[in-house]
Chains A and B, each alone.
Chain A
Amino acid sequence: MLTGTLALLTRSLRQDARLARTHLVRLIFVLVLFGGLAWAHVTSKSFGAPGLHYFGVIAVMNFGLISLAGVSFFSTAITEEKEEETLGLLTMAGINPLGILLGKSTNRMIRSMLLLMVQIPFALLSVLLGGVTGHQIFSAYVALAAYMILVANIGLLASVYCGRSSSAGAVSLAVLLGLLGGPALVKLVVKMFVRYGGMAVGNPMEISINSACDQYLGLTVAYRLNGIWETGFKQSAFSWQVLSNTALGFLLFVSAWLLLMWRVRQGRFDSPQRSGSIFRREREYRNPFSRVWANPLVWKDYYFLAGGNEFVLVKLIIYPVICLSITIVMFYMGFMYRNHWPDYGVAIMVTALALMAIETAAFASRIFHDELKWNTLSVTLLMPRSVSRIAYGKAVGCLLSLFPSLLFFFIGTMMAPETFGFWLFRPESWGCVIVFVLFLHMTAYLSLIVKWGAMPLAIAVLFVFGTCCIYPLFSLPMMLMYLMTDSEQALIMPTIYLGAVLIAVIQYFIGVRLKELARR
């Protein structure tokens, strides 16, 4: 029985071990750690406790990567089988639900654990740099491993429950945000209640809620890692955080198992068919949205990727509500004064920018992915126009639908012209824009490489290479330029130039990859 249950797990582990890619990823990870080590060495004279600093970066990077894996890598374990309509075939092949979970999810967890383990010899080098002990390093890895068990099983349960990878990722993200930021949010709400007279100061309820939140915070990995960095840390590595995260992870795994067993008995294997838009009813026919425009790619992506006029209209209704809600919350939190328009303008500007960022990131992950999904890339690229013209046409189609957020951003700038003018000429603003555009390009490129999770992967790639490779390499020339010019711009200009070069390089690779995929 055990052999049958473990069949898929052993097969997938063997397959991974044989793939050169698996080892390449680990090698890249090690090289990244070396990058971090180089940075720690260079800055060791500027900072105290360089070992602690170096390992702190590694730990934060691991925490970020595990969280990202939770909303992408772990949460697609079962949904990818549902979307490929192969879950039913697996059960028909005699693999029981436990075997499926072990083969599809546990192997991913083991692979991720191996990525943690490969770091340990290099992480121990930070002891030599000074400021951190071996016990602190060991405790941090144990805490991260327990957190990974929790995150992997949150993703697994979401993957079993949801029909599609996107919804499983969204559920996992919501749960993770709730787990990590929930207590802080609850404490903030209680604080606001107390401030505006909804609750008396020192009320037993306020005390008990705050106490419960503090207790809970002690069980989170972020709190635990903060504790580990403290000088003279001597607690056991197997803390309450480790025990609770592991136990909760196990409970979630059992829940996923029971849920999958029930679904298999019910014969519910595949993802439900999805309509193109939530605003379009499932129907057999309809009138054309409009005649195709002079540039058909712009028309196609405006209507069929960005939602077209109806979506723009909906956003024109919803976005003011969002802007208003955020303004009200910020007003009650004391961030702005009554009748002081520039404050409201800044809130609207920031909200519009955030909405624009969310929209563009979603477009970047789907702009080419949908062409692959419908097998339309080859025939579209056969049109008598260049690949770059096709790709830019699609991008313009998506950008047209940003009209509502751009409109609200414009309204915000009108209300706060001075703030807008100040930030417009700050190099940091353009540095942020370049980095975000780079992220969009990376997402679009990765959507041509991986089936799911291009966006979290892009965040991870930029995060890892930004913190451990690019920043360490550039920190020295940046500092030198700063000392030579005595200008703060020297600190940001290399980022802008490098970002622009990287964007051009990624655009080139997107073109190459598109042609390659079209040939298949």
Chain B
Amino acid sequence: MFNLKKLRRERDDDDPIVASSDLAVNFKGVSHTYGAQRALRGISFQVPKQTIHGFVGPNGAGKSTALKLIATMIELQAGTIQVFGRSVDLKPHTIRPLTGYMPDRPCAYQEMTVFEYLDFYGAGYGLNEEERDAAIRHLLELTDMTSRRDYIIRGLSRGMQQRVSLMRVLVYDPDLLLLDEPAAGLDPRARIELMQILRELRSLGKSIIVSSHILTELADLCDTVTVVDRGHIKYTGDLDGLLVRDHENPTFGLRLSERFDDLDLLIGELPGVVWVERVRSSSVYPEYRITIDLDETSTNELLSHVVSLGAPVATFQRSFRHLHQAFLDLTSGGVT
């Protein structure tokens, strides 16, 4: 449907630095202050090429500052940032065509039509008329906006305007998309549709950084995630790593296919079991949550013990911490 490769101006092939870099973004020891307020405190993280990276944190954590630094909107004060191997502070103008920044607020010339708006930014980034026509046509298809090509932006819904902003970012075919809270203010359907578009863009080879203050919003979307709080990095890596903490005892969920009285008492007496509780006691099919100490027992031993007790096991699986809980554990309360 949408072949960005056709539209590329062979930028990557022309530039050996960009082509050879495995990382879309390499953030090293970056600090930034606004007057007396420290927005970022020596943060470091990496975003591999062609992945979706979630940048999560509460309000005032420093997410927007980090994205603006990558987009060269604000000047780097301390540390280094490389975008596809190029340093942002040395040649900002060479970074700009590689990155597409979408702010957290709607920002469109309200009196323009969708086509005029995209045509304007395409020309601004040096595309000729033919390239702009092709790009706009494909983008309208990608975002399912073909029928709205000549609509005036002022009259579009918030979700539609967000799509127009996304198209504006994509019109000059950047390799890295920086989306600052793109789902803010969208209804659930528009959010789902936006996430689908982002997945499609990843499959087309784009690297994407999405910021949000809602971790669960990004859980199904992102390959990697960075949690930032008050200018500090609290976690960076894949989502599984965020949900499973090495220093914690693993917890398992056990569900039975029929009633089995006093199973919790029996499990509690098994070696290595630290904690057991029955959850959803009113349910027809009893469920238990069991925490074990891996130094004393293993997952297989626990399951075999339970089976040997004669319990009718329907499901047995590792339970991860809830994303909300992980987020709350990592970040501090209050708005900075």
- The chain A residues found within 8 Å of chain B, CB to CB, are 276-277, 280, 283-289, 291-294, 296-297, 299-300, 304, 374-376, 378-385, 518-519
Contacts and interface: CB of A to CB of B under 8 A. Distances in A.
A381 B74 CA distance: 11
Interface stretch (B14-22, B104-112, B193-201): B104-112
Contact of B112 (A277, A304, A380, A518): A304
Given A376-B108, A379-B101, 6 more contacts: A285-B113, A288-B113, A292-B116, A375-B107, A378-B107, A384-B96
Contacts of B85: none
A469 to B, nearest CB: 31
Nearest first, the 4 A-B pairs at minimum CB distance are A276-B111, A296-B123, A375-B107, A383-B124
B105 A375 contact: yes
Mostly, the B contact residues are mixed
B115 interface: yes
Interface stretch (B149-157, B214-222, B228-236, B275-283): B149-157
A277 B112 CA distance: 12
B73 interface: yes
Nearest to B169: A379
B73 A378 contact: yes
Nearest to A288: B116
A304 B117 CA distance: 11
B68 interface: yes
Interface in B79-106: 93, 96-97, 101, 103, 105-106
Nearest to B147: A285
Nearest to A386: B93
B29 interface: no
B108 A288 contact: no
A374 B73 contact: no
Given A296-B124, A376-B108, A379-B168, A289 B116 contact: yes
Nearest to A280: B111
Given A384-B93, A518-B73, A284 B155 contact: yes
Interface in B149-180: 150-152, 155, 168
Contacts of A300: 109, 120
Contacts of A374: 107-110
A376 B73 contact: no
B120 A299 contact: yes
A285 B150 contact: yes
B123 to A, nearest CB: 4
23 contacts: A285-B113, A285-B155, A286-B152, A288-B115, A288-B116, A291-B129, A292-B120, A292-B123, A299-B120, A374-B107, A374-B109, A376-B107, A376-B108, A376-B109, A378-B73, A378-B107, A379-B103, A383-B121, A383-B124, A384-B96, A384-B125, A384-B126, A519-B74
Given A291-B129, A519-B73, A285 B124 contact: no
B131 interface: no
A286 B109 contact: no
A382 B106 CA distance: 16
B217 to A, nearest CB: 23
B134 to A, nearest CB: 14
B111 to A, nearest CB: 4
B119 A286 contact: no
**Residue among A294, A304, A379, A381 with most chain B CB within 10 A:** A379
B284 to A, nearest CB: 50
Contacts of B116: 288-289, 292
Nearest to B149: A285
A494 B278 CA distance: 90
B71 interface: yes
B123 A519 contact: no
A296 B120 contact: yes
B39 to A, nearest CB: 12
